[in-house]
Structure 1
Amino acid sequence: MNLSQVTFLYLSHKRALGRKFRAEEDILRAFCKAIGDRPITAIEREVVLTFINGKGPITEYWTKKYRVLSGLYRYAIARGLAKASPLPRTIPKPTVPVFVPYIYSHEELKRLLDTVSTACAGRASIEEDVFRNLLLLLYGAGLRLSEALALTLGAVDLTQAYLHVHETKFFKSRLVPLGKDLTTILSDYISNRHKRTTQLESPLFCFRDGSPLSQSAVRSTFRRLRSYAGVLRDGGSRHQPRLHDLRHTSAVHRVIAWYRNGADLQELLPKLATYMGHVDLSATQRYLTMTPELLRLASLRFENYAIGDQS
């Protein structure tokens, strides 16, 4: 069976299991293009290594390509479509430092919001009020950017204070409760939006012409905002704070607040995972980058536990 046929079957299998597999599909399509549509059993180790290694240093993307192709070959071998995998058995360590999510401080979040008017001035495609409320929602509700941009006016229930999030990362929908402050902010924003349209299917966040915001435009505006606000870190352009880090920050700030209030994290972390739309707790744990403050509070909690246990 040719590579393209096996790839099609593998993608169909994964999506039948509830995975979107979009990034993985891009890698597999690039692999098919690089290798050519020939029998999967005739693909040599050398050409596979050439595709994985690419032309630059070994990065996390090397590992991503390796894992995607490993999944493809495991699928093919299990179904008798291939006899063995041409992939290397060992994974080299990246020569480029692994990206660490950036956790914004409250002061940095304030600077970003205060600078929105500058980033959206002139001929910017996104209006100031739209971009500010988008940022507040990404942080306040811990949403993925794709989830926020897919929201319509009808998906926001201000009476019961929740969002109805559709078409999430794993093809699931969920209800996201809103805090009092965020509900008030969205209520004011939607009141202004209703002056333009009352159609429930209209996008919550849109361009000046009413069309839905695109991820590329939002990310571009955020990079400009980040530069104006002076929220930067060492490591070059590849390692600068991202828009997605607002979601990481939301999770970390929530856990810090729980620590300070003496809450039971074993009980609350599974609820946080559900709130953020994760399929299991391990996905949420990856979001909890250990900031100095989080480490200090965790150490203090353990110290209090250990002292109490000795008494």
Structure 2
Amino acid sequence: MKLFEAVERYVTRRRVEGLQFMSGQAVLRALCKHCGNIDLGDLSSSQIAKFTSASRFAPKTSGSKFSIVKGFVDFYVIRHQMSQLVLEKPPRPRSDRQPFIYACNQIRTLLHQAENAVRRRDMFGGETFRMILLLLYATGITHEEVLVLRRSSVDLAKRRINVDGISTRQPRSLPIGLELRRELTKYMNSTRKLSRREDLLFRRNNGQPIQYSNLTARFAVLRKDANLMPSAQCQVPRILDLRFTFAVHRLTQWIRTGKNLNDLIPALSTYMGYSTLTRAEQFLAFVPERFKEDLKKLSPAKGRRRWCENVQLMNFLASL
């Protein structure tokens, strides 16, 4: 089998699994261009290393490309259509950028200002902006996912939001609370007149899709209106940090109420669309210091039943 044919088959398989895999397809086609349309069995570790570690790529980009190519290689190795390759992962990029974790009163201020500080040149209404920010904070979905939600994605009766998979995020059905359902009901009723079920949930005033650049520009103004100052580490609050805040606030609440994090971290990882069930552990580093001792008691290295042995938890993960 030629490399190009193998790539197209793999991309088709990932899409059948529910992923859009647009960036993955672009990376693998670039690999074909780099190596030529060789036989799949002739693909070597050195060719892959040269492709993923090209000097024109940033370290973070190299790591992302490596993950995509490794998934492709593993797919065919498991099926005995190519030999096992020893792949060396590019060094992990070092970043001093820490997320800005919003306090609850800052979230309330943002939501209030988003709806009320409306200017004539704004591309979408304050009510729409507020609802976008509320969804980002209340569900932890990404800005990419929130901007492609359709009205049909929201099931108010069952209290669920069906999120399409974006890039490496898994498609999933998210249960939501009563308060969020009430806010969504109010918003959808107010925009029902000029909307159809298949329309985007959030649109600009002219009916066109909202772009991420529109959001970031609007958020920069909102940040000034809300008088949000940089953190002690000089980190400027971003709209992306609402996702981090969602995770940290959930973990903090669970620690306060004595929940078992070994069970809840896999659930949180799945809820946020990660393919690795322990990925949400990364957010523990941003939990307030006063909970560190509690954290050690709740998640000891040994002596606890593993989350995968909890039947109730596994049934919940399967339902998302």
Task: Name the TM-score, length of structure 1 as normaliser.
Answer: 0.74
CA distance in 1, matches of 2:299, 2:34: 56
1:172-223: CA deviation from partner (whole Å, max 9, x where unpaired): 441422232x3343333233213x3253333221110223433443345445
After TM superposition, list the pairs within 5 Å mapping 1:14-53 onto structure 2. 14-40=14-40, 48-53=48-53
CA distance in 1, matches of 2:133, 2:285: 23
Alignment match, 2:257: 261
Once the 2 structures are TM-superposed, how far is the Cα of residue 281 of structure 1 from its aligned partner?
3.3
After TM superposition, list the pairs within 5 Å mapping 1:192-271 onto structure 2. 192-194=190-192, 196-197=193-194, 199-223=196-220, 225-226=222-223, 230=228, 232=230, 242-271=238-267
Alignment match, 1:128: 126
Alignment match, 1:91: 89
Instruction: State the SS of the aligned residue for 2:7.
Output: helix
Instruction: State the SS of the aligned residue for 2:202.
Output: coil
Once the 2 structures are TM-superposed, how far is the Cα of residue 171 of structure 1 from its aligned partner?
6.1
Amino acid at match of 1:167: D
Alignment match, 1:189: 187
Give the share of equivalent positions with the same residue, in percent: 25
For the aligned residue pairs, the C-alpha RMSD in angstroms reads 3.9
CA distance in 2, matches of 1:278, 1:69: 18
Confirm or deny: 8 A CA contact 2:252 2:287 kept in the other structure.
no
Distance 1:117 1:49, change over 3 A: same
Distance 1:305 1:74, change over 3 A: closer
Confirm or deny: 8 A CA contact 2:49 2:88 kept in the other structure.
no
Alignment match, 2:285: 290
Once the 2 structures are TM-superposed, how far is the Cα of residue 120 of structure 1 from its aligned partner?
5.8
Instruction: State the SS of the aligned residue for 2:239.
Output: coil
Alignment match, 1:164: 161
Task: Name the TM-score, length of structure 2 as normaliser.
Answer: 0.72
Confirm or deny: 8 A CA contact 2:60 2:93 kept in the other structure.
no
Match among 133, 137, 140 for residue 142 of structure 1: 140
Please list every run of 5 or more consecutive structure 2 residues that lacks an aligned counterpart in the other structure. 301-320
1:9-39: CA deviation from partner (whole Å, max 9, x where unpaired): 2223333444443332222122223444344
Range with bigger deviation, 110-119 or 214-223: 110-119
Once the 2 structures are TM-superposed, how far is the Cα of residue 119 of structure 1 from its aligned partner?
8.1
CA distance in 2, matches of 1:43, 1:227: 53
Alignment match, 1:178: 177
1:67 aligns with 2:67: yes
Instruction: State the SS of the aligned residue for 1:165.
Output: strand
Distance 1:69 1:302, change over 3 A: closer
CA distance in 1, matches of 2:202, 2:45: 48
CA distance in 2, matches of 1:304, 1:67: 32
Once the 2 structures are TM-superposed, how far is the Cα of residue 291 of structure 1 from its aligned partner?
1.8
Please list every run of 5 or more consecutive structure 1 residues that lacks an aligned counterpart in the other structure. 307-311
Distance 1:115 1:65, change over 3 A: same
- The count of corresponding residues between Structure 1 and Structure 2 is 297
CA distance in 2, matches of 1:266, 1:283: 12
Distance 1:18 1:258, change over 3 A: same
Distance 1:240 1:132, change over 3 A: same
CA distance in 2, matches of 1:271, 1:95: 28
Amino acid at match of 1:73: V
Instruction: State the SS of the aligned residue for 1:299.
Output: helix
Range with bigger deviation, 66-75 or 118-127: 118-127
Instruction: State the SS of the aligned residue for 1:246.
Output: helix
